[in-house]
């Protein structure tokens, strides 16, 4: 298994509020996390780093090695980070209301456990096909699912960035958790909407399924988003399951 990730400020933002990292626990299992922060000056940056580093520190101290424990852990720890970010915003009025998306994958033998809140996405790519594994927690996605607007209308909707769920809110946050099997020579892509708003799924598939090294693929995805306008921060975390590890 190989993992590469890269984050870029894009062409129109003054700072990068995305953040990603990979952490390894005591059993040798990796947790990949990507967050897209939101809020005023510095606040989104603080929220995304708090979420990623907070989850990562607890993961590194854990001995989790199966899907069910990973699921329970993700729900509990994302809730902990939700409360920590909310309280940080209360203590610092200039950061009040800050929040972040999270998409995270615990990589466990021949499977992975995925948890997400918000509109950062996970895609599974194998055998020339790409499948979106996450469901955007956004206003426009709710309108699409209810049949009020089409996906084409959603792409240019003026409220396309309005989230229905994020990390950093008062009370409990609902976390979507799913388990997925892994196939040899498959890819898992975690990304912020700075990629998916700029680069089509067909273009993403062409790049990820190509022949160049994994770091070249992450760089090309970032470049494509910037060439298309780079209207937001762009973060790409790409995992290549070269072979399936048997438990």
Q: Give 10-residue mean pLDDT values along the chain (247 residues).
A: 96 94 98 93 91 98 96 98 96 93 95 97 97 91 80 73 90 96 96 96 96 97 97 97 69
> CA Rg, the chain, in Å?
17
The answer to whether residue 75 is domain-embedded is yes
Please, which residues have CB within 8 angstroms of residue 164's CB and are 6 or more apart in sequence? 137, 138, 139, 141, 142
The per-residue DSSP string of 158-227 comes to TTTT-BS--BS-SS----EEEEEE--TTEEEEEE-HHHHTTS-HHHHHHHHTSSS-HHHHHHHHHHHHHH
The answer to whether residue 152 is domain-embedded is no
Q: How far apart are CA 113 and CA 105, in angstroms?
A: 6
Q: How far apart are CA 100 and CA 34, in angstroms?
A: 10
Determine which helix (DSSP H) or strand (DSSP E) holds 73, and give its type and residue range: helix 67-91
pLDDT at 162: 81
Using CA of residue 2, residue 120, residue 70, residue 131, what is the dihedral sign?
Answer: negative
- Residue 125 backbone phi and psi in degrees, to 5: -120, 125
Q: Which two tokens stand for residue 89?
A: 């915003």
pLDDT at 153: 77
Residue 93 Cα to chain centre, angstroms: 27
The answer to whether residue 179 is domain-embedded is yes
Q: What is the CATH number of the domain that holds 89?
A: 3.60.40.10
Beta bridge partners of 50: none
- Alpha-carbon dihedral of residues 132, 135, 139, 142, nearest 10 degrees? 100
pLDDT at 247: 42
Domain assignment of residue 67, given as a range: 2-135+166-241
User: Smallest Cα–Cα separation from 221: which of 179, 191, 184?
Assistant: 191
The per-residue DSSP string of 16-60 comes to --EEEEEEE-TTS-EEEEEEEEESSTTHHHHHHHHHHHHHHHHHH
Q: How far apart are CA 53 and CA 62, in angstroms?
A: 14
The answer to whether residue 175 is domain-embedded is yes
Determine which helix (DSSP H) or strand (DSSP E) holds 72, and give its type and residue range: helix 67-91
The answer to whether residue 223 is domain-embedded is yes
The answer to whether residue 143 is domain-embedded is no
pLDDT at 245: 57
Q: How far apart are CA 47 and CA 51, in angstroms?
A: 6
The answer to whether residue 150 is domain-embedded is no
Q: How far apart are CA 64 and CA 131, in angstroms?
A: 27
**How many independent structural domains does the chain possess?**
1
The answer to whether residue 142 is domain-embedded is no
């Amino acid at each position: 298994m190989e993992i590469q990730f890269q984050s870029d400020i894009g062409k129109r933002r003054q700072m990068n509020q995305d953040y990603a990292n990979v952490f390894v626990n005591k059993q040798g299992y990796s947790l990949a996390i990507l967050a897209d922060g939101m809020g005023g000056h510095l606040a989104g940056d603080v929220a995304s780093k708090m979420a990623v580093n907070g989850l990562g520190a607890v993961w590194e101290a854990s001995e989790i090695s199966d899907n069910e424990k990973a699921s329970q852990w993700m729900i509990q720890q994302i809730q902990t980070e939700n409360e920590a970010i909310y309280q940080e915003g209360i203590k610092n009025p200039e950061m009040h209301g800050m929040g972040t998306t999270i998409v995270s994958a615990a990589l466990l033998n021949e499977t992975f456990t995925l948890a997400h809140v918000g509109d950062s996405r996970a895609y599974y790519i194998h055998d020339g096909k790409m499948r979106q594994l996450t469901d955007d927690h956004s206003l426009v996605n709710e309108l699409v699912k209810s049949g009020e607007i089409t996906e084409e209308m959603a792409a240019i909707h003026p409220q396309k960035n309005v989230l229905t769920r994020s990390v950093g809110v008062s009370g409990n946050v609902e976390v979507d958790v799913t388990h997925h099997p892994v196939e040899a020579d498959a890819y898992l892509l975690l990304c912020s909407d700075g990629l998916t708003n700029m680069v089509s799924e067909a273009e993403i598939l062409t790049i990820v399924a190509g022949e160049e090294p994994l770091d070249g693929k992450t760089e090309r995805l970032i470049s494509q988003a910037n060439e298309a306008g780079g209207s937001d921060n762009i973060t790409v975390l790409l995992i290549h399951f070269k072979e399936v590890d048997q438990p």
